[in-house]
Each structure stands twice: as C-alpha cells, then as structure tokens.
Amino acid sequence: MKEKIISIQEEIKNYSGSGYESVEAFRVKYISKKSVINDLFEDFKKLSIQEKKEFGKTLNDLKTLAKEKLLSLSNTSEKNNGNNKAIDYSLPAEDDTVGSLHPLRIVRNNIIKIFRDIGFSIEDGPEIEEDWYNFTALNFPENHPAREMQDTFFISKDPDVVLRTHTSNVQIRLMEKQKPPMRVIIPGRVYRNETVSAKSHCFFHQIEGLYVDKNVSFKDLKDTLYYFAKEMFGSDTKVRFRPSYFPFTEPSAEMDISWKNGWLEILGSGLVDPNVLKNCGIDPKEYSGFAFGMGIERIAMLKYGIDDLRLFSENDKRFLKQFRGVH
C-alpha cells in the first residue's frame, strides 16, 4: 500500500491542465466514489490494526492533497476563462427566446373582440362538409364553378363530400337547429383548389358573420360594418359599398376601405337570400338577416405590410419573431 500511496501522491502533485474537461477528469480519478483513493480506503479496511495505525494518517493526507489540488485546478480554470463564474454543466440550458402569437391569430383575436363588443357570439363547425351545407342550402346552382373539382377539394363523389370552401356551412347548420334571433361570427380555416403563390393558397382563414331577426335591414348591415372598419383600421377610415353578387345574399355588396391613395376591397356582404332562410326552415316573411365574410390573411397583409401569402404558413422564425409584443 505504501508504494501505491507514494505513486498517487506524485501523480497528484505533477497533474497539470486547465479547462473544464481536465478538472473533471481529475475529480473523477482522485475524488469521486470510483476514484483510486477511494479504492485505497476499501483496501484499508482489510489491514491489521497495526497497519491501520501506520497508514491511516498518510491516507487521510493523500485525500486532503487531492482536494486541495482540485481546488487549485478549478481556480486556474476560472482565471483562464476570464471573470466568468464557474459553470454548472448539470443545470438545464437557459432559453432566452420569447414566443409570440402568430400574426393571423393576432388579427383573428382583434376581429373577434370587435364583434363580441357589439353582441356577436362565436360558433364553429366541421371542415369536412356535405354538399348540402357547403353548396345546395346556400343557393349555389348545380352548374356553379365552385362545384367543380378544379375549384374545390372533394373527399368523395355521389354523395359529394368536400373540404369546405367557406365557413358559411356553419351558418346553415346553426339556422337549422336554432330559431332566430341569432347574431354570430364564425372564424375558421377553408380550402380552395388553387395554385400556391404569393397571392393565393390552397387553404386560408375566414371570419363570417350572420345576424337574423325580425326587420333586419341593409342599414343594419352597413352600420355594423362601418363600426368594424373604424375599429379595425382607425377612426379616419372611409368606407364604400359596391354592388356585387353572391348566391346566398340578395342584394349583395363588397365593402372597400380607404387605403393610402385609393380603395381596397376587404369583405363581401349582403342580406341573406330568402331561399337560404327557407332551406333552413326559417320563414323569410317573418325574419330577415345579413351576412358578411372576410379573409383574415388579407387583413393581416394590409395591417402589417406583408406581400407574400405563403409567409403565414411556412413557420419561418425570421418572419414570426417580428410579431413579438404585438397584440
């Protein structure tokens, strides 16, 4: 044992090195539970009483020498690394990144709040839909282009099941099961069979609104959308309505807002067609209503100056991190 102790003493005294790896290697070899010094203490238990008296102090001195050497190596390592504190490598890594809401979620939340403040509730419905709810009940004629496979994603044919092309399907489901009055907005994802480009995509997000009650007029629709435009884009925003056509509303109109030096269309709207009310079991002689729909991506692109629709779905951190702190 004496020869082993002397040999280890010389190793400890002559040990040199800096950096975490070197210090850790020393600790494992001479201080840890599996160290050579710990092995000597195990052998010490087997010695006679006389031998224990002879080697006990020497062994303790060896252990003390190893601890002092470890402290010295640690201090040297810290100095070589500048003024940084010793690093505890057992701690989890710090993550200083701060997440943010997606720009579409920010715009969606803002739109929902505006309409909630004036009494609209939120509804949701299926993205895979039957022909009745996506087309027929909404007054789409049999030969309408939207019913063709070049415009719509079909899950099956005869009976036709599709990925919904708008959130209007939820309007039909709601009017079938609920009696007026009703005042709802319907946010959700919709699908179109379109080529993916900077200006178009195969899926996007809509928010549609529906109000059905007695004596609902086009003036009610205009007042509601005036309020929305000024809350969303600022009190100085000007609005105009242009005649348009949608199968499920009559009369129909597109709404433009003043933008820079011109006008930009942001949504479609109109009074619910009497045939749509009849299809849902609502008497159009007693009730009337209005509906509107807008693309969330379009509004987000206007508000944040985004010129490529694909950015919303690519999950590029360089794009998304720009919205930290935006609400």
pLDDT averaged over every residue in the chain: 88
* Whole-angstrom distance, CA of residue 293 vs CA of residue 291: 7
- Mean pLDDT within 210-217: 96
Tokens of 206: 């809509």
Percent with pLDDT over 70 in the chain:
93
Q: Of residues 16 and 86, which shows the higher confidence score?
A: 16
Strands 121-122 and 182-191: parallel
Please give the pLDDT value at position 125. Answer: 95
Could you read off the pLDDT of 256-275 as tens digits, one per residue? 999 888 999 999 999 999 99
Q: What is the layout of strands, in order, in the sheet containing 203-213? A: 121-122, 182-191, 203-213, 288-295, 262-272, 249-259, 239-246
Please give the pLDDT value at position 61. Answer: 84
Please give the pLDDT value at position 72. Answer: 84
Of the ranges 84-98, 172-186, 271-285, which one carries the lowest mean pLDDT score? 84-98
End-to-end CA distance of the chain: 73
pLDDT higher than 70, residue 83: no
Tokens of 221: 């629709």
Could you read off the pLDDT of 47-79 as tens digits, one per residue? 788 877 777 788 788 888 888 888 888 877 666
* Whole-angstrom distance, CA of residue 198 vs CA of residue 10: 72
Q: Of residues 90 and 106, which shows the higher confidence score?
A: 106
Please give the pLDDT value at position 121. Answer: 96
* Whole-angstrom distance, CA of residue 310 vs CA of residue 199: 8
Length of the chain: 327
Decide if 210 contacts 186 (C-beta within 8 A). Answer: yes
